[in-house]
């Protein structure tokens, strides 16, 4: 072999050596990165907020056993509806917030153990709904509505549904707070370990939960709501 051939072979070995060295350098960097110390922490954010919409469900009816009085009973039911409407109006509800279903007649019977009818009557009434974006108006209206019983007007309540619909308005601040709280937890861990918190390796956001404040129940019967979110974040720890 000539000198050129020897130089070529030598160059190949040098190049191969550099390539192998580069591989090991890359592997070392990768392994260091893969085996980096991390802190896996959770961050919590909570808000107590008032409901911004509510639906109040009620009904009112008039009963009678004399089927010859149906027309008069219907007139009484209509008069009761107007009295109830007037109380709602005085309580500050607008016409758009007050909803009365059409009056309907229902027949009722009682039967004995043999299945024989022992009593028969009918009722004429309507379902009532208050739909409002001012839920705080409902509680003060309860007393005058149920006081109508003294005037012989029967009003039955099926409950109030309070809802918070403005979650998107508070989401950014809550997520920011949850992330900050997660970093605080990571800093406490790092301080005890004698290291520093670096960047974020990965992060996941839990779903937003809306529950009744001070009870933890997930129903919608209370005016105040507790909004809660938890983020889970893995931070790199630097020496």
230 and 153 inside one domain? no
72 and 28 inside one domain? no
Cβ contacts of 205 within 8 Å, gap of 6 or more: 175, 178, 229, 231, 232
* CB-CB contact of 126 with 59 (8 Å): yes
217 and 176 inside one domain? yes
4 and 81 inside one domain? no
pLDDT, the chain, mean: 85
| C-alpha–C-alpha distance, residues 84 and 99, integer Å | 11
Q: Does residue 22 carry a pLDDT above 50?
A: no
The number of distinct structural domains making up the chain is: 3
* CB-CB contact of 224 with 47 (8 Å): no
Percent of the chain beyond pLDDT 90? 74
22 and 87 inside one domain? no
19 and 67 inside one domain? no
Per-residue model confidence (pLDDT) at position 99: 98
Per-residue model confidence (pLDDT) at position 219: 66
95 and 171 inside one domain? no
Per-residue model confidence (pLDDT) at position 6: 43
Q: Which two tokens mark 96?
A: 């758009």
Per-residue model confidence (pLDDT) at position 36: 62
> Which of 142, 138, 99, 127 is CA-nearest to residue 222?
138
26 and 128 inside one domain? no
Structural domain that includes position 10:
1-35
31 and 47 inside one domain? no
* pLDDT per residue as tens digits for the range 56-110: 999 999 999 999 999 999 999 999 999 999 999 999 999 999 999 999 999 999 9
* pLDDT per residue as tens digits for the range 153-183: 999 999 999 999 999 999 999 999 999 999 9
Judged on CB neighbours under 10 Å (0-12, 13-18, 19+), 152 is exposed
Q: Which two tokens mark 164?
A: 């918070």
Q: Does residue 17 carry a pLDDT above 80?
A: no
């Amino acid at each position: 072999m000539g000198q050129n051939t020897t130089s070529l072979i030598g160059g190949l070995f040098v190049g191969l050596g550099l390539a192998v060295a580069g591989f090991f350098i890359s592997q070392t960097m990768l392994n260091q990165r893969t085996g980096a110390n991390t802190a896996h922490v959770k961050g919590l954010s909570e808000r107590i907020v008032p409901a911004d919409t509510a639906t109040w469900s009620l009904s009112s009816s008039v009963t009678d056993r004399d089927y010859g009085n149906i027309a008069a009973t219907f007139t009484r039911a209509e008069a009761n509806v107007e009295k109830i409407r007037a109380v709602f109006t005085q309580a500050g509800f607008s016409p758009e917030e007050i909803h009365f279903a059409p009056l309907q007649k229902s027949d009722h019977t009682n039967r004995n153990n043999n299945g024989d009818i022992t009593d028969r009557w009918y009722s004429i009434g309507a379902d009532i709904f208050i739909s409002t974006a001012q839920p705080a108006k409902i509680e003060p209206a309860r007393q005058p509505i149920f006081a109508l019983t003294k005037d012989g007007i029967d009003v039955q309540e099926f409950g109030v549904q309070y809802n918070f619909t403005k979650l998107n308005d508070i989401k950014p601040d809550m997520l920011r707070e949850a992330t900050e709280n997660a970093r605080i937890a990571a800093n406490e861990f790092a301080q005890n370990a004698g290291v520093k918190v670096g960047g974020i390796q990965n992060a996941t956001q839990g779903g937003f939960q809306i529950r009744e404040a001070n009870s933890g129940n997930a129903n919608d019967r209370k005016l105040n709501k507790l909004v809660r979110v938890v983020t889970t974040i893995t931070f790199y720890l630097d020496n």
